[in-house]
Amino acid sequence: MTKNEKEGGFISHLTELRSRLIHSFIFLFVFFILSYFFAEYLYGFLVEPYAQAVKNDGTERRLIFTALQETFLTYLKVAFFASFFVTSPFILIQVWKFIAPGLYDHEKSAIMPYLAITPILFFLGGALVYYLIMPLAIKFFISFESSGLITNLPIQLEAKVNEYLSLIMKLIFAFGLSFQLPVVLSLLARVGVVDSEFLKKRRKYVVVIIFTAAAILTPPDPITQIGLAIPLLILYELSIFSVSLIEKKSKEDA
């Protein structure tokens, strides 16, 4: 291959990458605009765990904002969050279409299952936050309210619009990304970086790392920390099983 041919191939790859990025950006931008028009409804969906958690506590609840621009900026965040969530599969497809031509057939067949399971695991992590972790965490935080008999003045939660959104978004992303553990470990096993024995021997260290990571990624309360750590421990055990299957298949193919 001549120097000009190499340069031409490199430029064509850059051109294709640019095209894929533009398509992804346009898709994201269009969904961002659409999401903004429905931002109030989307926020209502995200605030549902809070509403359900305080539904029967006998207290009139509300969300407040203390800055003029707070609700507007919150709706922008909601729109971006929703558009990113919806367009992530499309962006993954664009990435796949860019790298797939340079892969062999057996490499494609090995990677395809991970492309399918990645958004599923992210969705499961987000669903765990929405339906279980957030309601439990909210009830835990509300338990610190006081009627004023001891504290002289009542202590009541009045959550801010932006702070609630930031909390639930942070948790959804933290859980969604953490749920990619089986994908990461399985890919590392395929390239020979780890094996099942390696993962088994370091199980006790992983437990410490998982609880430390859960403490960093979640708010400082035991509900969310344990809620993230326990699923990760289960996923780690599933990863060991998955790696064992990969090793078994590799031996059979050999």
Tell me what pLDDT residue 111 has.
81
Nearest one of 169, 8, 184 to 85, comparing CA atoms: 169
Distance from C-alpha of 156 to C-alpha of 141, rounded to nearest angstrom: 10
State yes or no: pLDDT of 31 exceeds 90. Answer: yes
Place of tokens 């993230």: 228
The contacts of residue 221 (CB under 8 Å, 6+ apart) are 137, 140, 141
Tell me what pLDDT residue 221 has.
78
Of residues 29 and 214, more confidence is placed in 29
State yes or no: pLDDT of 210 exceeds 70. Answer: yes
Tell me what pLDDT residue 234 has.
92
Q: At what angle do helices 203-217 and 222-253 cross, to 10 degrees?
A: 140
Instruction: Name which of 5-14, 159-168, 221-230 the model is least confident about.
Output: 5-14
Q: At what angle do helices 222-253 and 181-190 cross, to 10 degrees?
A: 30
| pLDDT, tens digit, 9 for 90 and up, residues 65-122 | 888 899 999 999 999 999 988 888 888 888 888 888 777 777 777 788 888 888 899 9
Strand partners of residue 64: 160
Tell me what percent of the residues of the chain surpass a pLDDT of 70. 92
